[in-house]
Amino acid sequence: MTLSYPPPVPPFPFVPPAAACTSTQGFDARFLTVEQQISYLVRRVYELEEELTHIRRLIFFPPPPPSSAP
């Protein structure tokens, strides 16, 4: 009994990853010292936290304050 296998599927073509968005053009971490890399990462994390807080406020807006009935 001979088993018949389906033909192999060709692999997907390689697509290089998109360039990372940085605030400065020509940014290359390979030319930064470890301290500069850490400083950049800390600043970027802080920026992302601020952006996330802003997005949360847009999506999960607080309920209106209770109206005071006379």
Non-local CB neighbours of 29 within 8 Å, separated by 6+ positions: 37, 40
Nearest to 41 by CA among 52, 56, 54, 49: 49
Nearest to 32 by CA among 22, 19, 17: 22
Q: Do 37 and 29 touch, CB atoms closer than 8 A?
A: yes
**Residues 12-63: tens digit of each pLDDT:** 666 665 655 555 555 676 788 899 889 999 999 999 999 999 988 888 877 7
When pLDDT is cut at 50, 70 and 90, the band that residue 7 belongs to is low
pTM to 2 decimal places: 0.45
Of 65 and 13, the one with more pLDDT: 65
Q: Give pLDDT, residue 68.
A: 73
Q: Chain-centre distance of CA 53, in angstroms?
A: 15
Tokens of 28: 């290359």
